[in-house]
Amino acid sequence: MSRVEVSNVTMEFGQTTALDDVSIAFEDGGFFALLGPSGSGKTTLLRTIAGFYFPKSGTIRIGDRNVESVPVEKRDIGMMFQNYALFPNMSVADNIGFGLRVRKVPAAEEKKRISEALDLVQLGALANRRPSQLSGGQRQRVALARAIVTNPKVLLLDEPLSALDKTLRVDMQIELKRIQREVGITTIFVTHDQEEALTLSDRIGILRNGRIVQAGPPREVYDRPVDEFTAGFLGEANWLSASLLEDLTLPAQVDGHRFGTRPEALRISADTPDAGQNAVRGQVRQRIFAGAMATCLIDVGGSQWKLIARDRDIPELPGDGQVWVSWSPEDTLVVRA
Amino acid sequence: MAEALLPTERRRLVSLLSPAYLWLLVAVFLPLSAMLFFSFLTGLPQDDPDWGVTLANYGKFFQNPTYPALLWKSLKLGLWVTGFCILIGYPCALVLAKSIKGRAREALFLMVILPFWSNSLVRIFSWAIVLRGNGVLERTLNFLLPFDVRLNLMFTREAVVIGLVHSYLPYVILTSYLALQAIDDDLIDAARSMGASKLTILRRLLLPLSLPGLLAGAVLVFVPVVGSFMEPRILGGRLGTYYGTVIEDQFVAVYNWPLGAALSFILLAVVLLILALTSPVLKRART
């Protein structure tokens, strides 16, 4: 269990720069999500921390050791792969014990730690099964047990839940979080699923084109994105065109910034909203009922906005579709132009 | 499975399978049955009007100690050749499957398959030119080394082994390559992340997972080598008398087909016995 620090790391594959002067710190015991579109360099960053790639320049520290030129097998990490990568020729217990045997842990101790790890992931009864006899969720748990049984300094997860179906994924998210808390291991995990990143982690790093765009706690990154890309990647956003800005209360200088809102921060009303609220006129194009929630597509000054609210909070709309769309000034998104 | 098929599906399966099985029936089963029949005869019907049925051809194998001794010699040859093919071929397949990517792999593959594309007689005679005293190999060595080298490899058991290894190496490389290729690279990465050295990964992961392919290759080499006659005859010379060459003599030189047939079936029985004895090992390797 250690702090991981990546400083000024640059990685190149032939002509393409996969990581461009990346610096980021992962606190001891934290659960950190690396999020970005495909090709953003998130998996490269994870595999560079793991030691599969060696950076062209920069340093990587795990605990108090510089490891940028140490190969993966000497870095003392635990890693979980997208397809689990369980060894098909070994039983569940042998899979979990592999790293212990490599480290020449005495047999009795090995047995004890395997059964502890199995208990931790609640798979005690399946120790003698082969990976081919397990369900997707069970394989996932074995892979997790195998990655942490050696008490590595850091746990690296490469899109660990993407192969599971939706319901199982939510269960495993809760499970993963519980186990990570219980073990207290520094965890870095790569995902392209923003909801998963927001749910699981206590810090998020957003990557784009091999650079870290923004890093911080999930709520902060969601509520205060630094640019349009981050705002759009972590959720949806409506952007205010320049002509609408005059009558609004804005938290920053107009110059050099763009302003927007999250769809769920908006309210819709037929009458003029209270003073102190930011409000613009709009024309409702479509109202989409989806059970508890509803989505409205509204034309605001020529651009299409999206509003998401509880269906019962959306009032009866006037016949001509002309409405007020309002939000609290503090909910305004401010990003670099 | 079969009961669950609809009649139309069954008809389709039969129509797809029957050409291959008809061909096997005509090309393998009929001639083999004829040979089995010959092996119990005192003489060929077309040459000997007084032909009869006998077990004497099989008896000869057990009465004359030369035959079992030659069979043993051929089995040993098979083990040597198979062993060298594995020692040379498996590492080659490993590198081709796991280390080399792209065009270089295609080029190297072509070189592996090349022996298949040349006529086997041409191949063997090329080896004769290389291996004989004052041949290409000796001259090259003498040119490179300051002292005199006399290898005289021609007409030795080593020459036979060299020629056979060259002919059969591609089988081991191809079957091992296919098995190794099918192993997900993530498995290797996972083992490395757990601290495993290259040797541990080979011993505990790659070798067990590719063993079925390696063994399939070994069988493909061992079986024909035990019955081989061309390489022993040309490269082995006077020392090149093996079980296969004796069978060939019965058919071509001595014209004793019944004995040749009987010796062939004894070889077939011994090879099947060996495969049956090793099949539990093969089966365990697969699970």
* Per-residue pLDDT reduced to its tens digit, B63-96: 999 999 999 999 999 999 999 999 999 999 999 9
pLDDT of A251 > 80? The answer is no
The enclosing H or E element of A286 equals: strand A278-290
Do B72 and B195 fall within a single domain?
Answer: yes
* Rounded alpha-carbon distances, angstroms, from residue B253 to A251, B10, B176, B240, B248: 105, 50, 39, 16, 8
Provide the percentage of residues in chain B whose pLDDT is more than 90. 59
Mean pLDDT rounded to a whole number for chain B: 89
Mean pLDDT rounded to a whole number for chain A: 91
Q: Chain B residue closest to A79 (CA)?
A: B193
According to DSSP, residue A272 is labeled: P
What sign does the CA torsion over B206, B212, B216, B222 have? positive
CATH class of A238-336: mainly beta
pLDDT of A95 > 90? The answer is yes
pLDDT at B147: 83
Q: Which residue ranges make up each domain of chain A?
A: 4-233, 238-336
- Shortest Cα distance from A62 to chain B (angstroms)? 15
pLDDT at B3: 59
What average pLDDT score do residues A300-307 get? 90
According to DSSP, residue A103 is labeled: T
> Containing domain of residue B47, as a range?
15-54
pLDDT of B149 > 90? The answer is no
Count up the domains in chain B and report the number. Answer: 2
Match 């990976």 to its residue by tokens: A131
Q: Tell me, what CATH number does B246's domain have?
A: 1.10.3720.10
Contact residues, chain B, for A81 at CB < 8 Å: 186, 189-190
Do B127 and B22 fall within a single domain?
Answer: no
In CATH terms, are A4-233 and A238-336 the same topology?
no
pLDDT at B48: 80
Q: Does A76 touch chain B (CB under 8 A)?
A: yes
Do B43 and B70 fall within a single domain?
Answer: no
B259 within a domain of the structure (yes/no)? yes
SS3 of residue A6 by DSSP: strand
Q: How far apart are CA B34 and CA A216, in angstroms?
A: 83
Q: How far apart are CA A85 and CA B189, in angstroms?
A: 9
Winning range, highest mean pLDDT, from A215-224, B40-49, B100-109: A215-224
Here the ipTM equals 0.85
Do B95 and B20 fall within a single domain?
Answer: no
Task: Name the interface residues of B facing A (CB cutoff 8 Å).
Answer: 184, 186-187, 189-197, 200, 204-205, 208-209
pLDDT at A111: 94
Q: Are B281 and B208 in contact (CB under 8 A)?
A: no
pLDDT at A241: 84
- Shortest Cα distance from B195 to chain A (angstroms)? 4
Q: List, in sequence order, the alpha helices (H) in chain B.
A: 7-24, 30-38, 56-63, 66-98, 103-117, 120-131, 136-144, 157-181, 185-193, 198-201, 207-226, 230-236, 243-252, 257-286
pLDDT digits (tens, 9 = 90+) for A181-239: 999 999 999 998 888 898 889 999 999 999 999 999 999 999 999 999 999 888 889 99
pLDDT of B52 > 90? The answer is no
Q: How far apart are CA B214 and CA B92, in angstroms?
A: 12
pLDDT at B1: 46
- The closest CB to that of B195, out of A82, A103, A156, belongs to A103
Contact residues, chain A, for B209 at CB < 8 Å: 88-89
Do B132 and B24 fall within a single domain?
Answer: no
Please give the residue that has the higher pLDDT: either B179 or A171: B179
pLDDT of B57 > 50? The answer is yes
pLDDT of B287 > 80? The answer is no
Do B48 and B126 fall within a single domain?
Answer: no
pLDDT at A101: 94
pLDDT of A92 > 90? The answer is yes
pLDDT of B2 > 70? The answer is no
Contact B186 A81 (CB under 8 A): yes
pLDDT digits (tens, 9 = 90+) for A10-64: 999 988 999 999 999 999 999 999 999 988 999 999 999 999 999 999 999 999 9
Do B29 and B82 fall within a single domain?
Answer: no
Q: Is domain A4-233 annotated with CATH 3.40.50.300?
A: yes
B82 within a domain of the structure (yes/no)? yes
pLDDT at B284: 67
Contact A74 B195 (CB under 8 A): yes
B144 within a domain of the structure (yes/no)? yes
What average pLDDT score do residues A78-98 get? 94
Do B41 and B173 fall within a single domain?
Answer: no
Q: Are A96 and A129 in contact (CB under 8 A)?
A: no
Q: Does A99 touch chain B (CB under 8 A)?
A: yes
pLDDT at B285: 59
- Shortest Cα distance from B76 to chain A (angstroms)? 32
Q: Chain B residue closest to A51 (CA)?
A: B193
B4 within a domain of the structure (yes/no)? no
